[in-house]
A and B are shown apart, each in its own frame.
Chain A
Amino acid sequence: MNILEVHNLKKYFATQKAVDDISMNIEQGSIFGLLGPNGAGKTTLIRMITGIFYPDSGNILLKGKKFDAENDAKYIGYMPEERGLYKKMKIGEQALYLARLKGLSKNDAMLKIKYWFKRLEMESWWNKKVEDLSKGMGQKLQFVITVLHEPDLIILDEPFSGLDPINANLIKDEIYRLAQNGTTIIFSTHRMEQVEEICNKIVLVNKGQKILDGTVEDVKQNFKENLFSIQLEAIPDNINSHAFEIINTKKEELVVKINEGFKPNDVLGYFINRSTGIVSFEEILPSLNDIFIKLVEGTPTARQFEKATS
């Protein structure tokens, strides 16, 4: 079942087409990566999904029904990239206030805050103020506030920035656990190694348009360049074959590109025929980082201001 469906969403600002006809579906319980360079339109897209902006055109369906910002707020938890909390307000009161704004009753909110504060060892923070917290502690608090009301859809914008590895792992484990319990998570980032590790499905956005959509595996398969890594006992001289070309040579390892019409077996056959001992043979799939750079490269790093005509 799709928890979120976005159809032909558009949002134009005076100087640019921030989101230009994007459609996507997000399955319930998946961890979904929303990728794109700076200024690609990710934040605008998220702001429409969270009801902060109204789209110029297009539809958003949440749980199969038309999204209604006011009443559906309780189903969504959103952690913006720029973290925001009241600096002078006590942490416990602040968590309670923000949870109640999401529609929880006072007692419910209290129980859930206590549960989460205990879980993430934040109980001693209750009467402290946000300005007393370190940046990492603030992140943790922001995460708790985002997930506190048990939303069905959690949107995290760069959730690990500013976290040390221990706290980052803590949050990562919480994300996995939430996903296992059926919560859907949208992950907006440009840190590809995290995406590769965590996400099932990704969408890549550039210049307001969707340029890639699929599971991490499929995307990698689609962008593979028939590269293989072969480790040999010793690299023989004069390697010359129609089946492949050598891209790179390390001490005992070759990186080869198999030519069109040939198969890995042809490569292995070549070395077997020459009686070279093969230690390992492995396909090299491109990293998401490579794919990202390849797709986005060539477009200016910052979007230029242009007149949007709608």
Chain B
Amino acid sequence: MNKILLIIQREFLTRVRKRTFIIGTILFPLLYLGLIFGTGYIADKTREDLNIALIDGSGLFNEDLIKSVNGNDTLNTIHLVAAGTEKFNENFDSLGYDGYLLIPENFKWQSGVDSLSVNTKKSFGMGALKPIEKKLNLLWSKIKHDSLGIDAAKEAVLNKTISLKLNNEKNKNADAGIATVVGYVSGFLMYFILLLYGSQVMMGVTEEKTSRIAEVVVSSVKPFQLMIGKIIGIGMVALTQFLIWIACIFIIYNIGKTTGHQGGGASGMVGQIQSVFTSLNIPVVVGCFIFYLLAGFFFYSSLYAAIGSAINEDMREAQSLSFPITMLIIFSIALMTPAIANPGSSLAVWASIIPFSSPIVMMARIPFGVPNTVPWWQLGLSMALLIAGFMFTTWFAARIYRTGILMYGKKPSWKEMIKWAFRK
């Protein structure tokens, strides 16, 4: 036991003292936020804006009408063009139009037509036509209103709608929007931690094997002690990093609160954090995160350790052998999206109970509320199964590890590794 502690201590200290740990701890949240806002920004930048010419054969459309709808969305515009169709369809692009729309003569204000084509010379994304479609229908409804004699006041009455909001009787503070965001953030964070630290375990084991220190160490301790010490040590590093982030959030929150709301980004952030705090049961969310972080980490990293013990130096071997494990994690993240969209569905429930996907999917569901969305029995069953799961993977991995760590030469197949595991 004492020896395991020594190994844990070494694994932990050598990693935490490295510059990469400090940089990673600071940079990761920045990169993470950058990823979220960056993709939003890029999506916004790369949106296709269309400038469409409208050739009116029906005589129902006029310049003023079109001007009134263009005011709403100045990026996608429609222009009335009177040019003869023959010549126009060849050089509309040189006139600055992305395409043109021909309203046929049989277009009546009562019936319209079922569909029209926008003629272009290039292809656009699926959603590109939506704003133009919306504008065209707005134009048509204005034409209909005019023909029916509905004035602006009547129109306002007609356009009134009702919006629905969710009110959770049991939990007045519940906010599905915040739960969704926190669910996504926790799920992805879990995903990154499992992958990053899992592969750290794998590389650490391989390093010990290829530098032949393993043989020196296993003459003093059992292979199992060496493996479990490494896993726990690296798990503690992951936990430390997570706790630093949580502490930072609290510090930012408290500083923001005491310096008062002086406007700007800081107070906005504080306001957001505050709304997260009031709508979520923070101790349950953080507590569960720590549990799933550690248990999920033990589950996957012991498998990664087994792979690390089987390979020799060549990183391609590592990739091909760890592929099935990495796929399990990626599959979990794929299950997370439908689980967040509908956290009470049977898919979400089962994915959050079965050990391999439970760390990610359960963490995505928990922000929606315990015990309302996630009943206690589900949480308990999921935790119990995950503990049983990691005990099995650790046992299984230890048996591969003790053979693999001293085995040099050819890369074993999964079949051979399983054979090692079940040998006496």
Q: Which residues of A contact B (CB under 8 A)?
A: 47, 50-52, 69-70, 73, 76, 78-80, 82-89, 97-98, 100-103, 142, 145
Identify which of B46-54, B94-102, B218-226, B372-380 touches chain A: B218-226
Contact B6 A52 (CB under 8 A): no
**Does B108 interact with chain A (Cβ within 8 Å)?**
no
Of B7, B219, B406, which is within 8 A of A73 by CB? B219
Contacts of B219 in A (CB 8 A): 50-52, 73, 76, 78, 80
Contacts of B14 in A (CB 8 A): 88-89
**Does B214 interact with chain A (Cβ within 8 Å)?**
yes
Shortest CB-to-CB span from A155 to chain B, Å, is 9
Shortest CB-to-CB span from B168 to chain A, Å, is 53
Of B10, B218, B222, which is within 8 A of A97 by CB? B10
**Does B133 interact with chain A (Cβ within 8 Å)?**
no
Of A52, A84, A100, A102, which is within 8 A of B211 by CB? A84
Of A47, A70, A85, A88, which is within 8 A of B216 by CB? A85
Contact B220 A52 (CB under 8 A): no
Contacts of B220 in A (CB 8 A): 73, 98, 101-103
Contacts of A83 in B (CB 8 A): 212
A76–B220 alpha-carbon span in the complex (Å):
9
- Mask, B212-256, CB within 8 Å of A = 1, is 111111111110000000000000000000000000000000000
Contacts of B218 in A (CB 8 A): 52
Contact B216 A145 (CB under 8 A): yes
Contact B211 A87 (CB under 8 A): yes
Of B215, B221, B406, which is within 8 A of A101 by CB? B221
Of A82, A88, A98, A142, which is within 8 A of B217 by CB? A98
Nearest opposing residue in chain A for B221, CB measure = A101
The interface on chain B, measured as residues whose beta carbon lies within 8 A of the other chain's beta carbons, has a size of 19
Of B216, B217, B222, which is within 8 A of A69 by CB? B222
Given contacts A52-B406, A101-B221, contact A80 B6 (CB under 8 A): no
With A79-B216, A97-B6, A142-B216 given, name 9 new contacts (CB 8 A): A47-B406, A52-B219, A73-B219, A73-B221, A84-B213, A84-B214, A87-B211, A89-B14, A101-B217
Nearest opposing residue in chain B for A70, CB measure = B222
Shortest CB-to-CB span from B405 to chain A, Å, is 10
**Does B3 interact with chain A (Cβ within 8 Å)?**
yes
Nearest opposing residue in chain B for A50, CB measure = B219
Of B10, B216, B221, which is within 8 A of A80 by CB? B216
Shortest CB-to-CB span from A272 to chain B, Å, is 61
Listed residue (B208, B211, B214, B222) with the most chain A CB atoms within 10 angstroms of its CB: B211
Shortest CB-to-CB span from B363 to chain A, Å, is 34
Shortest CB-to-CB span from B208 to chain A, Å, is 8
List of 4 A-B pairs having minimum Cβ-Cβ separation, nearest first: A84-B212, A84-B213, A82-B212, A50-B219
Contacts of A51 in B (CB 8 A): 219
A97–B221 alpha-carbon span in the complex (Å):
12
* 5 chain-A/chain-B pairs, Cβ below 8 angstroms: A50-B219, A80-B216, A82-B212, A98-B216, A103-B220
